[in-house]
Amino acid sequence: MTDHLLLPAAGVGRRFGHDRPKQYCTLADRTLMEWTLDLWLNVRLDGRRLLILAQSDSQGRDIARSYSNLDVAVGGEERADSVLAGLEALNAQEQDWVLVHDIARPCVRVEDIERLLDHCHRTGRGGLLATPVSDTIKRRDGDAVSTIDRRQLWSALTPQCFRFGELKQALASALSAGVTITDEASAMERAGFPVDLVEGARDNLKLTRPEDRALIEFYLMQQGRLEQR
């Protein structure tokens, strides 16, 4: 069995509120994409690494050329379309493992990635990094507000790691049915495949809104990857 990596980066980052995709915002003169790619250089994988870009994304292709072990595939309109396109380009063995990681999560820890991979190898079950919800969670239904028991709630992170064949089947089935897929785990859950949660560090933050940028810079400094200015 081989371990592969998919990095979906074909999105436009609508919630980020800028005139360019968030993966190209800069932190200390490097793009967010480069910070994430640099991190994965420290992860030993014996399979292929695919960066999934929009067809017209010349900037991403220029960046990819700086990484000798990185290939490029063309993604789709939504994340699930891009991941499925990446799987088709990967053309791996059915039992191979595929890690899927958000390009907008540059602070994931190598030890967390290795722990997730070890869990999948040891148990034969797919899973994802996640953190227990610590905030009090409210549900609003019109004017009515209620509190949700958070003891069974987790925040899904990436990477997520599943068998190549099962993930491809699950994504293709969901997209064919017109089901909205927010992450790989949701497609696997719908298809009835087991999904395990492996607790990861809380600094594995995704750049979603402009205010997240300062916190990501802080985490990069805390991890010793960015010098304090």
| Average pLDDT along the chain, 229 residues, taken 10 residues at a time | 96 60 91 97 96 96 96 94 97 96 98 98 98 93 92 95 98 96 96 97 95 94 85
Res 19: pLDDT: 66
Strand 3-9, strand 49-53: pairing: parallel
205-209: list long-range contacts, CB under 8 Å, 24+ apart.
205/105, 205/107, 206/102, 206/104, 206/105, 206/157, 207/16, 207/22, 207/25, 207/32, 207/104, 207/105, 207/106, 208/15, 208/16, 208/22, 208/104, 209/15, 209/16, 209/17
Res 229: pLDDT: 58
Question: Comparing C-alpha atoms, which of 173, 182, 160, 163 is closest to residue 99?
Answer: 160
Distance CA 80, CA 170 (A): 10
Distance CA 102, CA 59 (A): 18
Res 18: pLDDT: 58
Domains with residue ranges and CATH for the chain: 3-222 (3.90.550.10)
Eight-state DSSP code of residue 218: H
Strand 71-74, strand 97-100: pairing: unpaired
Are 188 and 162 contacting, i.e. CB atoms less than 8 angstroms apart? Answer: yes
Eight-state DSSP code of residue 18: S
CB-CB neighbours of 167 under 10 Å: 27
Q: What is the pTM of this model?
A: 0.94
